[in-house]
Amino acid sequence: TQFDYIVVGSGPGGIIAADRLSEAGKKVLLVERGGPSTWETGGTYGPDWVKGHNLTKFDVPGLFESMFTDPNVFWWCQDINVFAGCLVGGGTSVNGALYWYPADIDFATSQGWPASWANHNPYTAKMKARLPSTDHPSTDGKRYLEQVYDVVSKLLTGQNYQNITINDNPNAKDHVYGYSAYDFLAGKRGGPVASYLRTAKARKNFQLLMNTMVTGVVRNGTKVTGVRTDGGIIPLTAKGRVILAGGSFGTPRLLYQSGIGPTDMLNLVKADPTSGPNMPPQSQWINLPVGENVSDNPSINLVFTHPSVDAYENWANIMSNPRPADAAQYLKDQSGVFAQASPRLNFWRAYGGSDGKTRYLQGTARPGAASVTTSYPYNASNIFTITAYLSTGITSRGRIGIDAALRPRVLTNPWFTDPVDKAVLIQGLKDIVSNIKNVTGMTLITPDNTTTIDDYVNTYPTANLNSNHWVGPCSIGNSASNSVVDQNTKVFNTDNLFVIDASILRTLPMGNPHGAIMSAAEQGVAKVLALAGGP
Ligand code: 6FA
Ligand code: ABL
């Protein structure tokens, strides 16, 4: 069969694109390398305590922290050495589901976005209509395990932060805090899978193909005629189009395998015995900066204790030995602690840097900690973490590419390549703890008093700066000299190849990115549908 549109990758970008294209009556194939995730997609993997309830690990929000501790890790892309979800829903099936409606600055021309993208609001409105946020995901409307919220809100109030409902004021990102917001639906993982994918699957002109790896597009010069998979070639109709949505690691590799990108990367593909022979001839290679302009929030964890905090056994027992009352409550009506992921409070503050640029700092507070390094005696049942992320405005950039085995890799780390970013984050951390003595019982244990904040940041393991928020390797822009896709998300110098996923975002959004990615997907697919020449 031939398809009007073949969408590669079922993350938030790919799902939204595929849903809107099929809604417009196009014949659409969505190809995903991984398998099912939540119960409604055919997934079955979960702890014993959810068996018989049509639930998986991916459905239950409160199982989020076990993604990092469960010895069975089939959901991570095995060929990528940072966290990336390889299953239906991509990152949104395994992530913390923190969900922020984008701020205007997330798409601003001042940040390098094409002028035609300046008004994201109609597209964000479409996203909100399909997928509203909630800061009280438990089905009974109550909030649970709120001690961390109470302690951190005292700290921030002392620093003149205002308490707001964050998604009611997306542009207010200076000295504000509020409850963590999510795209959980009915006490379960929601996201694009439980909304957009559901409507797409109900259409006869839509097909989802799982467990199928795409290894490049088939093209004749500038025109793409189909995609190559590990199960053979899938063709397009005469005016058909391909949309790549493999994420910030998957999409660059797909472009390299299609003969599009910098020569050093294309030569690695050419040298590969399997992929090399499938590349277009060198005369048809398209040189674009695929893999450049990458950013990810540099983030640093501060670990605290407070006698009021319930660290929930640091989430260690949630799979095998959950608190019985909480498990029973969740199974009964999807309410209680298990209806929410770990974060409880988020905050933002703006900073001026020594270079005259404004950078934003985001904080996320949660019970528990990924690791504790301290010389203090402490009560492990009282630990909690504030993660400080430097976001919109950061100037550091890195590079994503592939290695000789064609595995997606970070070639240049994107954090702190500009020392001003580091200086601002250090200032932000110092400010967070500046009034800690005024919050009775609150103690900073990592770093402890043998380590200054400066030393803590300067010796922080580089890989731990990773926030899993990779954007930019196929940046959108006005020129093929510094961008990979044009304002219609079309890959420069091609007729019918597009990218709609995190990789087109030029700049990091204010918050955890999947809300901004989905708004960008709504906008991108609308522009693709409006662009003449298609099916
Ligand atoms: N973002 C948020 O907004 N809030 C969060 O709380 C949050 N948490 C996390 C988190 O806890 C973790 C551990 C990770 C890894 C990410 C988090 N993020 C969070 C980031 C967010 O999930 C990502 O930014 C977002 O999912 C990116 O969306 P994309 O559409 O750009 O890409 P994905 O990686 O989600 O999906 C790509 C899909 O393509 C995957 O399903 C993959 O299997 C598939 N694919 C890739 N290459 C392919 C190929 N060659 N053939 C077929 N399929 C392919
Ligand atoms: C995000 O946006 C980040 O990408 C995740 O790293 C983060 O989760 C979630 N949201 C929730 O805030 C953290 C976990 O809470 C830690 O336990 C884990 O060690 C860390 O991700 C790994 O990066």
List, in order, residues 6 or more apart from 10 with CB less than 8 Å away. Answer: 18, 30, 31, 32, 88, 89, 90, 197, 208, 245
For the record, the structure tokens of 22 come out as: 């099929």
For the record, the structure tokens of 363 come out as: 């904080």
Q: What is the pTM of this model?
A: 0.98
At 425 the pLDDT is: 98
Centroid of ligand 1 to alpha carbon of 355 (angstroms): 33
121-130 and 514-530 are packed helices; what angle lies between their axes, rounded to 10 degrees? 110
Contact call for residues 528 and 498 (beta carbons, < 8 A)? yes
Contact call for residues 474 and 485 (beta carbons, < 8 A)? yes
Can you tell me the distance from the alpha carbon of 472 to that of 395, in angstroms, rounded to the nearest whole number?
Answer: 13
Nearest ligand 1 atom, CA 31: 52
Q: For residue 240, give the nearest of 510, 514, 505, 497 by alpha carbon.
A: 497
Can you tell me the distance from the alpha carbon of 490 to that of 376, in angstroms, rounded to the nearest whole number?
Answer: 55
Mean pLDDT along residues 389-410: 98
Contact call for residues 152 and 365 (beta carbons, < 8 A)? yes
Nearest CA to ligand 1 atom 9: 95
Ligand 2 proximity of 65 Cβ (cutoff 6 Å) = yes
Centroid of ligand 1 to alpha carbon of 71 (angstroms): 20
Nearest CA to ligand 2 atom 2: 512
Nearest ligand 1 atom, CA 34: 43
CA dihedral 323, 363, 64, 199 (to 10 degrees): 130
Centroid of ligand 1 to alpha carbon of 92 (angstroms): 6
The helix (H) or strand (E) run that includes residue 30 is strand 28-31
At 72 the pLDDT is: 87
For the record, the structure tokens of 75 come out as: 């959901």
Can you tell me the distance from the alpha carbon of 438 to that of 400, in angstroms, rounded to the nearest whole number?
Answer: 44
Mean pLDDT along residues 128-142: 98
Contact call for residues 442 and 304 (beta carbons, < 8 A)? yes
Per-residue pLDDT of 15-54, as tens digits, reads 999 999 999 999 999 999 999 999 999 999 999 999 999 9
Which of 467, 468, 518, when mutated, tests ligand 1's pocket best, judged by the most ligand atoms within 8 Å of its CB?
Answer: 468
Annotated active-site positions, please?
469
Would the CA dihedral through 528, 529, 532, 535 be positive or negative?
A: positive
* Structure ipTM: 0.99
Distinct helix (H) and strand (E) counts, the chain: 10, 18
The percentage of the chain sitting over the pLDDT mark of 90, rounded to a whole number, equals 99
Per-residue pLDDT of 182-232, as tens digits, reads 999 999 999 999 999 999 999 999 999 999 999 999 999 999 999 999 999
Per-residue pLDDT of 320-343, as tens digits, reads 999 999 999 999 999 999 999 999
Can you tell me the distance from the alpha carbon of 334 to that of 34, in angstroms, rounded to the nearest whole number?
Answer: 27
Contact call for residues 175 and 163 (beta carbons, < 8 A)? no
At 302 the pLDDT is: 98
Nearest CA to ligand 2 atom 8: 96
At 92 the pLDDT is: 98
Within 13 Å of residue 469, how many CA atoms lie on the same side as its CB? 31
Q: For residue 391, give the nearest of 69, 98, 125 by alpha carbon.
A: 98
Can you tell me the distance from the alpha carbon of 339 to that of 445, in angstroms, rounded to the nearest whole number?
Answer: 29
Can you tell me the distance from the alpha carbon of 338 to that of 413, in angstroms, rounded to the nearest whole number?
Answer: 35
Per-residue pLDDT of 148-188, as tens digits, reads 999 999 999 999 999 999 999 999 999 999 999 999 999 99
Mean pLDDT along residues 127-149: 98
At 23 the pLDDT is: 98
At 439 the pLDDT is: 98
Nearest CA to ligand 2 atom 19: 370
For the record, the structure tokens of 412 come out as: 């240049």
Nearest ligand 2 atom, CA 369: 17
Give the max Cα distance, the chain: 69
Look at residue 402 and tell me whether its pLDDT is greater than 90: yes
CA dihedral 429, 435, 439, 442 (to 10 degrees): 40
| Residue in the block written with tokens 């997609």 | 41
Ligand 2 proximity of 468 Cβ (cutoff 6 Å) = yes
Centroid of ligand 1 to alpha carbon of 84 (angstroms): 6
Can you tell me the distance from the alpha carbon of 413 to that of 85, in angstroms, rounded to the nearest whole number?
Answer: 20
Residue type, 291: G
For the record, the structure tokens of 312 come out as: 């929930």
3-state secondary structure of 303: strand
At 111 the pLDDT is: 85
Mean pLDDT along residues 485-505: 98
Mean pLDDT along residues 418-431: 98
Q: What is the mean pLDDT of the chain?
A: 98
At 57 the pLDDT is: 98
Centroid of ligand 2 to alpha carbon of 481 (angstroms): 34
